[in-house]
């Protein structure tokens, strides 16, 4: 199939731009890119989709979202909410407790459909829903496959809902990781191990996570220093900063996603670089939660791999 008669942005290293370009797709692969006329001539038997001057570019990757919060849009908070912790308590954590598996499925449908409509073809999600943990990742994965969007899933492990739930969350991550490993030819659905954030994870829980993950090479997906409270908590309880603490537990690495990093210092940026950990910046969310501005420019200058996420505020990357 030729998709053509549009402005092609290849997003390659040379930043190639074709004013009247086209791409040739065979199966799952883009086999050729070039001028629309030339491509039609070279492959006369191919079906042609005319985009009429629109932009043809690689699909966007939303590197951090929370499908579980699809119902939150426009929802107001009933109690007074003056800091980041209260935003979590009064909005996100009162919402995630109520979710059933059917809600999770509907949230996933809404999020994925809107993502596709906005040019997102890969969504990396960080799921939470303490009272419907079991099977939640499988429910989301089914929805993604139904719609044909690429996705990476995990479930936030946290101590915030009590020990029983923590155990269930660890199990759901591991069940899903194992299922994806069995189905390793499927390049549309992948698994990570989800951790909420340092301040809701005791050392005891992190040791349990390490034990469960022994022998597995999947990356972790974790919020780091989104609010200053995360750093205060880590310094007070463990005498080290958030990135140092997670590094000591072997959480960082080239497959791990460290989300936000609003309140990290120079040494923490260096640890992320040394471990080749990816960082995800979520500007809209940072503004909404009034947590501050991460040192993104500095991260770029120091060669960190930085992705963009919506953190589920909208599904429109732009």
Query: Contact residues for Zn ion (CB under 5 A)?
Result: 311
- Sheet with 150-153, strands from edge to edge, namely 60-65, 120-125, 150-153, 189-191
Least distance from C-beta 164 to Zn ion, angstroms? 24
Cα distance between residue 131 and residue 69, in whole Å: 14
Nearer to Zn ion, 39 or 66 (CB): 66
- Which residue in the block uniquely carries the two structure tokens 């501005």? 293
Helix axes 163-182, 203-212, angle to 10 degrees: 20
Nearer to Zn ion, 143 or 286 (CB): 286
Least distance from C-beta 158 to Zn ion, angstroms? 12
Per the DSSP assignment, residues forming a β-bridge with 258 are 222, 279
**Most distant CA atoms of the chain, gap in Å:** 68
Q: Which residue is nearest to Zn ion (CB)?
A: 311
Cα distance between residue 144 and residue 64, in whole Å: 16
Nearer to Zn ion, 3 or 201 (CB): 201
Cα distance between residue 32 and residue 7, in whole Å: 15
> Is 217 buried (19+), middle (13-18) or exposed (0-12) by CB count in 10 A?
exposed
Using alpha carbons, list the distances in angstroms from residue 43 to 3, 16, 55: 12, 22, 21
Question: Which pair of structure tokens corresponds to residue 46?
Answer: 């191919």
Least distance from C-beta 204 to Zn ion, angstroms? 24
Least distance from C-beta 263 to Zn ion, angstroms? 15
Nearer to Zn ion, 169 or 311 (CB): 311
Nearer to Zn ion, 177 or 258 (CB): 258
Least distance from C-beta 282 to Zn ion, angstroms? 7
Cα distance between residue 258 and residue 220, in whole Å: 8
Nearer to Zn ion, 180 or 262 (CB): 262
Least distance from C-beta 83 to Zn ion, angstroms? 17
Least distance from C-beta 240 to Zn ion, angstroms? 23
Nearer to Zn ion, 23 or 280 (CB): 280
Nearer to Zn ion, 18 or 259 (CB): 259
Handedness of CA 160, 165, 171, 173 (dihedral sign): negative
Helix axes 163-182, 136-147, angle to 10 degrees: 40
Cα distance between residue 127 and residue 232, in whole Å: 25
Least distance from C-beta 97 to Zn ion, angstroms? 17
């Amino acid at each position: 199939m030729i998709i053509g008669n549009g402005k092609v942005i290849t997003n390659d290293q040379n930043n190639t731009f074709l004013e009247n370009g086209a791409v040739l797709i065979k199966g799952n692969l883009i086999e050729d890119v070039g001028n629309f006329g030339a491509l039609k001539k070279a492959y006369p038997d191919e079906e042609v989709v005319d985009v009429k001057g629109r932009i043809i570019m690689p699909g966007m990757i939303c590197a951090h979202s929370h499908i579980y919060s699809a119902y939150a849009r426009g929802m107001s908070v009933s109690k007074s909410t003056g800091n980041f912790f209260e935003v979590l308590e009064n909005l996100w954590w009162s919402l995630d407790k109520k979710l059933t598996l059917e809600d999770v499925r509907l949230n996933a449908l809404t999020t994925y459909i809107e993502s596709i409509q906005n040019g997102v073809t890969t969504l990396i999600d960080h799921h939470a829903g303490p009272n419907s943990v079991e099977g939640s990742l499988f429910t989301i994965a089914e929805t993604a496959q139904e719609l044909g969007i690429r996705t990476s899933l995990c479930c936030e492990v946290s101590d915030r809902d009590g020990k029983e739930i923590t155990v269930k969350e660890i199990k759901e991550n591991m069940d899903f990781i194992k299922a994806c490993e069995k189905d390793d030819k499927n390049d549309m659905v992948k698994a990570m191990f989800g951790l909420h954030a340092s301040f809701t994870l005791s050392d005891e829980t992190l040791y349990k996570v390490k034990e469960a993950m022994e022998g597995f090479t999947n990356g972790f997906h974790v919020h780091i220093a989104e609010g200053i409270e995360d750093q205060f908590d880590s310094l007070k309880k463990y005498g080290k900063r958030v990135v140092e603490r997670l590094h000591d537990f072997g959480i960082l690495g080239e497959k791990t996603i460290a989300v936000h990093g609003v309140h990290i210092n120079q040494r923490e940026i260096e640890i992320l670089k040394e471990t080749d950990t990816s960082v995800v910046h979520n500007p809209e969310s940072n503004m909404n939660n009034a947590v501050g501005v991460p040192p993104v420019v500095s991260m770029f200058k120091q060669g960190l791999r930085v992705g963009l996420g919506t953190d589920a505020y909208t599904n429109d990357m732009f």
